[in-house]
Amino acid sequence: EKARARAGRVPSRAIRERTCSIGVVIPTLNEAATIATTIHTLLYRASSPTAHNIQVVVSDAGSTDGTYEKVKQLVRDHPKRVRYVWGRRSRAEQFNRGVDAFDTPPDILFFLHGDTTMAHGWDRDLVDALLSDPFNVAGAFRFKVDSPRWLLRAIEWSVLKRCEWFQFPYGDQGLFMAHSTFQRLGGFRTDHPIMEDFEIVQRLRKMGRIALTKEDATTSARRWDLHGVPKVTFLNWFFALAYLWGVSPKTIYKWYYGRPAAREDRPADAVPADLPPTEKPPPIVPRPARVPKIPEFGSGAGPDFQDQLRPPE
């Protein structure tokens, strides 16, 4: 059966009938304006038979704009499907902390930004993309910006071509993979205060293919509205090239934000006083910066990721 899967056969019907669970991790910092809409689209636009197997963890970094109050109401409305954890201000740590917060590890992890909304049937599209090829190790959604501006249509086209030609999505497209794949990677690198999505995609590309869905994930246009399309586009390319040329993530962070990145041993940011005890995460233990060696794609050393998603007999 493994040989058949490696030969490119369609995955088994048991997998395609959505017997796998999806865990969504959303890092937030002052996302009160968008977080409720993001979570509502995740919960109410899911259409497959495993829609009830979707869980959302909001991993906050000390928001002060009412994000906590918005999420707290969602936790009350969906106590088994939404939870809230908090900790240091570091998107890589927030992603890792969110993964650790699931009581039962989900089959598939989906890392999504707090200003992104999903289309109807996003969960079916996600699973179809990940399982469409036995060599797919991860996937991302097509990129769309919530704006009618023609310049942004050009940006969407360029992102599409980057993903089709180079299999290199960015974090604002939503990145998904099997939980077992994430464990093999060792998680996001916490020594990256910025470019953490870029770095993990580099490692994923060494393991196999990164699929692209048929549907879009729509991200807020606020960055482009605030700074302008040319400036945001230039900075995105500049920082990506700087990282590839060996500039450290801490230096890029200082260029981007105009201040040094917080130390990894810095205490956690503000914590809501009425945070329910059941929603507190376990003690934060920094992950080692060392990255395990990943076999090159095509070496024959990689696992069969579809079998990893197969439910137990």
Which of 47, 183, 40, 205 is CA-nearest to residue 127? 47
pLDDT value, residue 48 = 74
Average pLDDT in the 287-296 region?
Answer: 44
Check residue 4 and give its pLDDT.
Answer: 34
Of 197, 183, 44, 54, the C-alpha closest to 127 is 54
Beta-bridge partner residues of 176:
110, 139
Give the pLDDT score at 52: 81
Q: Is the pLDDT of residue 309 over 50?
A: no
**Dmax (CA) of the chain:** 55
CB within 8 A of 311, min separation 6: which ones?
14, 15, 19, 20
- Per-residue confidence (pLDDT) for residue 259, from 0 to 100: 87
How many CA atoms within 13 Å lie on the side-chain side of 43? Answer: 17
**Per-residue pLDDT at 247:** 97
Contacts of 306 (CB under 8 A, 6+ apart): 5, 11, 15, 131, 134
Kindly state whether residue 25 falls inside one of the protein's structural domains.
yes
Among 13-22, 45-54, 125-134, the range with the most confident prediction by mean pLDDT is 125-134
Residue range 47-74: average pLDDT?
91
* Lowest-confidence pick of 10-24, 255-269, 293-307: 293-307
Using alpha carbons, list the distances in angstroms from residue 161 to 10, 29, 143: 26, 30, 11
* 160 within a domain of the structure (yes/no): yes
Domain membership flag for residue 246: no
Domain assignment present for residue 275? The answer is: no
Asked if pLDDT for residue 147 goes beyond 80, the answer is yes
pTM assigned to the model: 0.82
pLDDT of residue 159: 95
* Inside any domain, residue 294: no
CATH of the domain at 21: 3.90.550.10
Residue 262 has pLDDT above 80, yes or no: no
Residue 291 and residue 202: Cα distance in Å, rounded?
12
In 3-state terms, what secondary structure has residue 145?
strand
What is the DSSP pairing of strand 209-219 with strand 116-118? Answer: antiparallel
One-letter amino acid for residue 168 of the chain: F
* Mode of pairing for the β-strands spanning 108-111 and 175-178: antiparallel
271 in a structural domain: no
Helical segments of 45-139, H only: 67-77, 91-100, 122-131
Query: What is the predicted pLDDT for the residue at 49?
Result: 73
Please tell me which of 5-14, 44-53, 253-262, 294-303 the model is most confident about, judged by mean pLDDT. Answer: 253-262
Domain range enclosing 207 = 2-227
Q: Is residue 279 a part of any domain in this protein?
A: no
**pLDDT for 109:** 98
**Number of domains the chain contains:** 1
pLDDT given for residue 190 in this prediction? 94
**CB contact at 8 A, 31 and 115:** yes
Res 283: pLDDT: 39
pLDDT bucket at 263, cuts 50 / 70 / 90: low
Judged against a pLDDT cut of 60, whether residue 273 lies above it is answered with: no
On whether residue 68 sits in a domain, the answer given is yes
CA of 194: how far to CAs of 7, 118, 151, 265, 308, in Å? Answer: 38, 24, 26, 17, 30
